Chain A
Amino acid sequence: MAYKILEKEEIAQSVHKMVVDAPDVAKAAKAGQFIILRIDELGERIPLTIADFEIEKGTVTVIFQEMGKTTKQLAKLSAGESLEDFVGPLGTPADVRKLGTVILVGGGVGVAPIYPQAKAYTKAGNRVLSIIGARNKDLLILEDEMRKASSELYIATDDGSKGHHGFVTDIMKKILDSGEKVARVVIIGPPIMMKVGAGVASPYDVEILVSLNSIMVDGTGMCGGCRVTIGGKTKFTCVDGPEFDARKVDFVELMNRLAMYRGEETKAVEKYEEECRCGLH
């Protein structure tokens, strides 16, 4: 099997968008779900959230940041090349319903999974207040798309190079303090941002959902590598999630489990970059 890359673009520094020909996945995909891909025979399986999908064209869009060896290798591929494996849709779809006003918060590449949710919540008849952020304006992604998909869009950058100078959660707190009745907050981004965001929102009478990014192998519930503790119970992110009630998530455990292979990952990147310099890739 091979899945052709139809489009490939660097949409921010080290952040890439890839449109893949995968009609079976496109037809079944829903907001909140993800895929697992494998570049080639030697490759590992990595999970990426579905950032967009078009049933008619049979395409699925993923957005990823260069972090480790596999994402760096993925960034080097261009349109016309193929991926060995591309399986999905995986995970339970996001619980999108008409609730009234919903705040969607996306940080860094976490804006990518927020985008299909913004579209879905808007379509379901909600007032969607979106807040997107990045370290600086060059790392900000999907601004135009998010503006179109939301009732209102707010931007925050850590260095103040665009929008609010500070964190996305500052804006979220301001809205929650404004007295506007908000039914739900969805926060997606790096685990530390979701942990902090959940902490900020938890004193308010609002539902808080996060989408977790555990380490995965198969993504179909057969190994438990992605297990997380939710309200004291073990759950598998790939099947029971990735969306969970933020108040119940054990973020400390999640972050420790994510660090499990850090040494090996660093070594793999160093080796890969060394080989690239020698022209082996």
Chain B
Amino acid sequence: MQLNEEKNEEKTGKAKKERTPMPEQPADERRKNFNEVTLGYTKEDALAEASRCLACKDPKCVEGCPVNVDIPGFIELICEEDFEGAIEKIKDTNTLPAICGRVCPQETQCEALCVLGKKAQPVAIGRLERFCADYDSQKGAKVPEVTKSTGKRVAVVGSGPAGLTAAADLAKLGHKVTIFESLHKSGGVLSYGIPEFRLPKKIVQQEIEYIKQLGVEFKPNYIIGRIKTLDELCDEFDAVFLGTGAGLPNFMGIPGENFSGVYSANEFLTRVNLMKAYDPAYNTRVRLGKHVVVVGGGNVAMDAARSALRLGADEVSIVYRRGEDEMPARREEIEHAKEEGIIFRFLTNPVLILGDEKFNVKAVECIKMELGEPDKSGRRSPVPVEGSEFTIPADVVVIAIGTSPNPIIFKGSEGLEQNKKGTVVADEETGATSKCGVFAGGDVVTGAATVISAMGAGKKAAKAIDEYLTGK
């Protein structure tokens, strides 16, 4: 088993400065399967890593966590080998620890603020959280106690990270929660977007089962905006939380984008993850490319590229219009993709997709870019280099340049303020919208962001909804 090599500037220093590596599948093996890449800490690993925590009196790491998990608290319990106590402590504030421990960008959150990080490596908080959650599910998670009912009913629209978190928190406070989900499986992006090799679907379903045990009712195959309008939900429930995400794929608008073999990342990943097109026992298919080109530089682009590789592609390249430093994807995912042999073409932008006589994609014409002056957001905007066009052969192209909120939810409903990009206008602290009794959080408010920020928004909104319902 190959161990994850960690950088350590002070290799000569105390052993304690190095974080405990996490075992993972070797790259040449894992690029052929959809099994989880990272394998998780053993008990010994967890104890070694937990002992590095300085148990700060004024812990900065907690501030870096969007849902403010009591990090030193649960790590101390790990040190005492009270793993059940540790998971309970985490679950006080975080309902989806097995997921967060795997997909949170800890390097920009909790771990970014760990004081150990100033001189050496920060405590591997995410890995420890994951260890506790996995220990818990292996043992059979404790059935939570259902709180006495307040008699209030809340509708949650969408079962992604924002909706699941809001639902769980509201149920713990004694409100009767019903989740409406348009797809046949719950989880949102956790089920259709993030691949099995990063987040096993068994884990997502386990977390959802836990939320069901809190008394939350799930209604799959139920589309608000088609079966019922948002206005009708408002009449039937005491409050509504909108966690419908940003599921509408953006296309580039270049010629040839509708050739067969050109996918949105949403379609490609839905076929692979939700419908399990990689498994011949399932009936959904996805085109298997020999030469795959993925456009974009976020986590979704990494997921699509690494999935295409695992489906058997000979060559997968990521085409990104900015440079490596500007890539919004998690560092770990970029490293994993590189180890697996994904080719990165930076400062490159597609201008045209070429097809054959049967409308099948055969190549992508790209242009080289250079970084110009910083734009309003402070990022240097890429500018095309004239005359630098070149073509890359491709039989599958995946467009992963971002998503917007799906407008179906707003059909037939009135009074919900949206901004130009189609996102819902909501108060940052409470999630309250312009429509009375309707709260919103996650990607539907922010546009495509992270799992944990959606959970944070779900958590804040649940608190605000509780105050709204109980008149606090």
Contact = CB atoms under 8 A, between A and B. Distances in A.
Interface of A: 1, 24-25, 27-28, 38, 42-45, 69-70, 84-90, 217-218, 220-225, 227-229, 234, 239, 252-253, 256-257, 259-261, 264, 268
Interface of B: 182-184, 220-223, 226-228, 247-249, 251, 253, 257-258, 260-261, 263-264, 266-267, 270-271, 275, 281-285, 287, 358-359, 406-408
Contact of A259 (B227, B260, B407): B260
A247 to B, nearest CB: 19
B221 A87 contact: yes
A25 B251 CA distance: 31
Given A220-B223, A259-B260, A42 B282 contact: yes
A223 B249 contact: yes
A85 B359 contact: no
B284 A45 contact: yes
A42 B279 CA distance: 10
A268 B283 contact: yes
Contacts of B281: 42
A27 B264 CA distance: 33
A223 B270 contact: yes
Given A90-B223, A253-B359, A260 B270 contact: no
A43 B258 CA distance: 26
Contacts of A253: 258, 359
B223 A259 contact: no
A239 B284 contact: no
A85 B221 contact: yes
Given A221-B406, A221-B408, A256 B182 contact: no
Q: Is the interface of B mostly helix, strand, loop or mixed?
A: loop
B266 A257 contact: no
Contact of A229 (B258, B266, B408): B258
A234 B184 contact: no
A224 B222 contact: no
B283 A44 contact: yes
Given A87-B223, A220-B406, A224-B266, 11 more contacts: A1-B221, A28-B226, A44-B285, A45-B284, A69-B283, A88-B223, A220-B183, A220-B223, A224-B264, A225-B264, A257-B260
A44 B221 contact: no
A256 B358 contact: yes
22 contacts: A1-B220, A27-B227, A28-B226, A28-B227, A44-B275, A69-B283, A87-B184, A217-B271, A218-B270, A220-B408, A221-B407, A222-B249, A223-B264, A223-B270, A225-B267, A228-B258, A234-B258, A256-B358, A260-B287, A261-B287, A264-B285, A268-B283
A222 B248 contact: yes
5 nearest CB pairs, A to B: A223-B267, A256-B359, A87-B221, A222-B247, A44-B283
Nearest to A73: B283
Contacts of A218: 182-183, 270
